[in-house]
Structure 1
Amino acid sequence: MVAKAERVTAGDPEHPQERLAKKPYERELLRLQNELVKLQEWVRAEGARLVVVFEGRDAAGKGGAIKRVTEFLNPRIARVVALPTPTERQRTQWYFQRYVEQLPAAGEIVLFDRSWYNRAGVEKVMGFCTPEEHRQFLHQCPTFEQMLIEAGILLRKYWFSVSDTEQERRFRARLEDPMRRWKLSPMDIESISRWEDYSRAKDEMFIHTDTPDSPWNVVESDDKRRARINMIAHLLSTVPYREVAPPEIELPPRPRSRGYRRPPRDLQTFVPDHAAGIG
């Protein structure tokens, strides 16, 4: 199972991905996003707790998938967690502690844009943790996730798999685009020269954490459109949600005026009409 997933990640010519056309992509994405709203309302009504973990190589398409998942969701119910580098105090805590603080309460969805699996990936490869800390993580992680599941949390894990050639193409596109250059960090550049190190770390991580109760779901992501559609459709298929009837809402009649007058416009500062000059 692990070997097959890695062959896909490495861009195996036996698993080519045709680019999904824009129109069917947009049509199916909108349909799936409508279902995600139904899922959200079910989570709220049932008091369910849903955790979705997004992992994968740099530039594998995790961020774009998360944006499409949350586009029409209520940010008070569905929130994205992307934790920064741990503080000195957090470094002295139990490793999973700062992630536990982000877990959902009843009626909430949490999407982890990278997660506790940092320790099995970047920390392992870049030497940010000791071999003993890495070994301890691989030993504790399945137990930690089993505890979440036994507590009633719905846990879904997705690994976005991108080929080395496609990753490099996306890095170059970011480098040349001033609107996206901020996405390209020194750590991203380092990942190019450490491709095989990350592959080995990922394989080892899968061996220990791809369990029957908490499996990894691999998303082939050389085609971002196809990856988003496949990931969202799979997520929806794994949650036993149902459509919840919305509460009936009636707009009240607007009351009759009681003599209110707006203050003169010259007493307020309005933003300039920039739009008037762009026709």
Structure 2
Amino acid sequence: MNERPRGAGGGGPGRLPRAPYEKELRRLQIELVKLQEWVRAEGQRVVVVFEGRDAAGKGGAIKRFTARLNPRVVRTVALPVPTDRERTQWYFQRYVEQLPAAGEIVLFDRSWYNRAGVERVMGFCTEEEHRRFLRQCPVFERMLVEDGILLRKYWFSVSDAEQERRFRQRLSDPTRRWKISAMDLESITRWEAYSQAKDEMFAGTDLPEAPWYVVESDDKRAARINMIAHLLSTVPYGDVRLPRLRLPPRPAPTGYQRPPRHLQTYVPDHAASLRAPNHGPAPGADTAGGRGDG
């Protein structure tokens, strides 16, 4: 499974238009809720690994995946640099602590594969540590699968031209500037080294029990749709009968009087400066005549 040629696009003949993207994403997110309820009802354990190039769209896919789900059931793990103590532990140890219990889904925003990628390329691990990882990782993952964990591994692939475009976009956007670091920029000058590391990683860890699935991600919208649809197709989830709920009638007032508003500190109405003049309060505003929330 080799990386695409440099400069090659992966989004097909054109970017997926917004309207069909949002329609299908909505449908898939409804299915993800069904998956969540099935996982919780059946006591299943699901692990999804998100790996790939810097700026390949992993974070955006995770965001759309989790947008409509219960954070008590679906949890994203993005571990920081290991502490001095963690560096002396078995390499997989801090990841084991994050694995799901029954009824949980854990998404790894980068994972134990750091050792086969950035650590390998940037020299943060020794040759022996890297070789040991490639020996132990298949054993580790087979143990997870044998124990009943549903493990899915996705590699987000992006062309060098698209990666550079996204890097430039992040550098010029104050809301995205935090998403890029000097380490990320190293990936431009080490493109082939990362490709070789990825090929070596795939050769050792693309297992029948836990295969790698490549997501072409030059088109972010298509990548999100494709990844979520594929994951759903690989899990034998079904509908779970939920208890029927009915909104009770609101009881009649009993004489409660709200304390005077001046006794509470309200945030300034910054939104008022954005409204057209003379339009009055925003719809649903808590006016003096309402019961309020106390």
**Which residue in 1 is equivalent to 2:292?**
none
The yes-or-no answer on 1:77 pairing with 2:105 is no
Any idea what the Cα deviations from partners look like across 1:18-73, whole Å, max 9, x if unmatched?
A: 21111111111111011001100100100100000000010000000000000000
The yes-or-no answer on 1:102 pairing with 2:98 is yes
SS of match in other structure, 1:252 = coil
Q: Counterparts of 2:222 and 2:12 in 1: how far apart (Å)?
A: 12
SS of match in other structure, 1:94 = coil
SS of match in other structure, 1:55 = strand
* Structure 2 gaps, min length 5: 276-294
The yes-or-no answer on 1:125 pairing with 2:121 is yes
Of the three residues 239, 245, 252, the one matched with 1:249 is 245
SS of match in other structure, 1:247 = coil
The yes-or-no answer on 1:155 pairing with 2:151 is yes
The Cα shift of 1:108 comes to 0.4
SS of match in other structure, 1:54 = strand
% identical aligned pairs: 75
Q: Counterparts of 1:50 and 1:117 in 2: how far apart (Å)?
A: 18
The Cα shift of 1:249 comes to 1.6
**Which residue in 2 is equivalent to 1:196?**
192
**Which residue in 2 is equivalent to 1:34?**
30
Of the three residues 260, 280, 285, the one matched with 1:264 is 260
Larger Rg, first or second structure (1 or 2): 2
Q: Counterparts of 1:223 and 1:201 in 2: how far apart (Å)?
A: 24
SS of match in other structure, 2:100 = coil
**Which residue in 2 is equivalent to 1:141?**
137
Q: Aligned-pair RMSD on alpha carbons?
A: 1.4
**Which residue in 1 is equivalent to 2:107?**
111
**Which residue in 2 is equivalent to 1:7?**
4
**Which residue in 1 is equivalent to 2:83?**
87
> In structure 2, what residue type is equivalent to 1:56?
G
TM-score calculated relative to the size of structure 2: 0.91
Q: Counterparts of 2:21 and 2:165 in 1: how far apart (Å)?
A: 22
Of the three residues 228, 231, 252, the one matched with 2:227 is 231
TM-score calculated relative to the size of structure 1: 0.96
Q: Counterparts of 1:198 and 1:12 in 2: how far apart (Å)?
A: 16
The Cα shift of 1:11 comes to 4.6
> In structure 2, what residue type is equivalent to 1:202?
K
Q: Counterparts of 2:11 and 2:69 in 1: how far apart (Å)?
A: 33
